[in-house]
Amino acid sequence: MFQDLNINKYLLNAIEDLGFEKPTPIQAEAFPVIKSGKDVIGISQTGTGKTMAYMMPILNDLKFSSQVNPRVLVLVPTRELVAQVLENIEEYSKYITLRAVGVYGGTNINTQAQSVMQGCDIVVGTPGRLYDLTLNNSLSLKAIKKLVIDEVDVMLDLGFRFQLTNIFELLPVKRQNIMFSATMTEDVEELIADFFEETHKIAIAISGTPLENIQQVCYPVWNFYTKVNLLAHLLRNKKEYTKVLIFIDSKAKADRLHSNLDEVHYIKSGVVHSNKSQNYRFKSIEDFDSGRSRVLIATDVMARGLDLDQITHVICFDTPEYPENYMHRIGRTGRAEHEGKSILLYTEKEKRYKDDIEELMKITIEEIPFPEEEVEINHKLTPEERPKVKELNTRVKRTVGGASSHERSEKNSKTPMGGSYRRKLAEKYKKPKTRGDKNQNKKKR
């Protein structure tokens, strides 16, 4: 019962309006610890009610004030999450007077500077923009009493550690630190060890445990284009597949899948990844959430932390290399105790990633045979799938049996062509040329 958690009647009324009957496990565990003022790290998957878990005890203790400088700072990794946390604060604070402001990059900094300068109690922001606002003196963090870092693992994945450190330096030493992470990674542990002391750990589900209300299946599939055929075959069942979130690990592949579904199979979908404009992303998510569009394609980073209601299916178009990413993906369905389904498509090459996922979850994902009768195999390969063509060796070949010492020393005295060619290129272009998009080769996106 929410009544047992010692929260005031204004908040209880707001909870009642939302129709929530009882606290979720993370809420029941986190409320008292956060209220006690201890530093906390909550390990909890998204969709388990963690926003309310940290926000309710904070709102409960936040007295009315008209001071300019905020007392609560919430750091989140993406702009979408800023909007979502603000929306939740608005719902929870329906019967109290509260000023909450959101700040994030990619939009006009002056407008945001003006709104924080008018004064606020809670500021919710992404680290980069928040730090910029402190640098231009629009925002002071000297009154912060509570710091929340949500999705710490994503935050560190995105390379925000440096910005976080900068922000920590501007905060009063005496404050409460509240962190939430879906997975406990080495990076998260290191951050806690470096900056916080005696952090109380609350873990609801062991990191990597699947939500029980998600039915998981997988299909072995040959290649990208055959996966598209299978996906299109599944999506034609409009009755069952009413709200489908498709995960894919790169922006280029997301775009390729989007256009292939449209042009070859006449299936419309929305796409969200970080190369799309803010407006395009907001619109794609809104269309999907409101039911105007049935299919949304997303990269991992963009979709993590998004609170999308009632997703019927999560489809992992590729198999994530990091098993935690799979956990995050499937966690997008089956939220708030609804039933959900997840489908994993894996190629021969991706099988070892599937094995890692199964090892982490300690279960075997039910395998459905590829429906050969109904779905055509497409042998066309994508640039990533094509076998790498070996570079022609332009050096002088050794004679069979190996060169004599005399021949070898003569050869060694010559300048190798590869080296001199690269040096010439380096001179011309100032830096070595690399093949392909470097970002494509990065593990984290």
Q: In this chain, which of 7, 11, 14, 24 binds ligand AMP, going by CB under 6 A?
A: 24
Nearer to ligand AMP, 47 or 270 (CB): 47
CA 85 to CA 55: how far, in whole Å?
A: 9
Nearer to ligand AMP, 211 or 234 (CB): 211
Q: How far is the CB of 435 from ligand AMP (least distance, A)?
A: 41
Nearer to ligand AMP, 48 or 176 (CB): 48
Mode of pairing for the β-strands spanning 176-181 and 146-149: parallel
Total of residues contacting ligand AMP (CB under 6 A): 14
Q: How far is CA 440 from the centre of its chain?
A: 17
**H and E: helices and strands count for the chain:** 18, 14
Nearer to ligand AMP, 92 or 346 (CB): 92
Q: How far is the CB of 108 from ligand AMP (least distance, A)?
A: 28
CA 121 to CA 123: how far, in whole Å?
A: 7
Instruction: Single out the segment in contact with ligand AMP by CB under 6 A; choices: 23-31, 216-224, 348-356, 427-435.
Output: 23-31
CA 175 to CA 155: how far, in whole Å?
A: 21
- Roughly what angle, to the nearest 10 degrees, separates helices 278-290 and 79-92? 50
Decide: 181 and 153 in contact? Cβ < 8 Å: yes
Structural element, H or E, at residue 224: helix 224-235
Q: How far is the CB of 175 from ligand AMP (least distance, A)?
A: 23
Site mask, ligand AMP, residues 33-72, x = CB under 6 A?
-------------xxxxxxx--------------------
Site mask, ligand AMP, residues 333-372, x = CB under 6 A?
--xx------------------------------------
Q: How far is the CB of 363 from ligand AMP (least distance, A)?
A: 23
Positions in 89-148 near ligand AMP (CB under 6 A): none
Site mask, ligand AMP, residues 265-304, x = CB under 6 A?
----------------------------------------
> Taking the chain, what is the end-to-end CA distance rounded to the nearest angstrom?
40
Q: How far is the CB of 47 from ligand AMP (least distance, A)?
A: 5
Nearer to ligand AMP, 76 or 191 (CB): 76
Judge residue 391's burial from the number of C-beta atoms within 10 Å of its C-beta, 0-12 exposed, 13-18 middle, 19 or more buried. Answer: exposed
CA 265 to CA 306: how far, in whole Å?
A: 28
Mode of pairing for the β-strands spanning 214-220 and 100-103: unpaired
Decide: 215 and 342 in contact? Cβ < 8 Å: yes
CA 54 to CA 122: how far, in whole Å?
A: 13
Task: Say which residue the tokens 């932390």 belong to.
Answer: 305
Instruction: Single out the segment in contact with ligand AMP by CB under 6 A; choices: 22-30, 151-159, 339-347, 386-394.
Output: 22-30
Q: How far is the CB of 79 from ligand AMP (least distance, A)?
A: 16
Decide: 253 and 271 in contact? Cβ < 8 Å: no
Q: How far is the CB of 289 from ligand AMP (least distance, A)?
A: 11
Summarize as ranges the residues that interact with ligand AMP (CB under 6 A). 20, 23-24, 27, 46-52, 307, 335-336
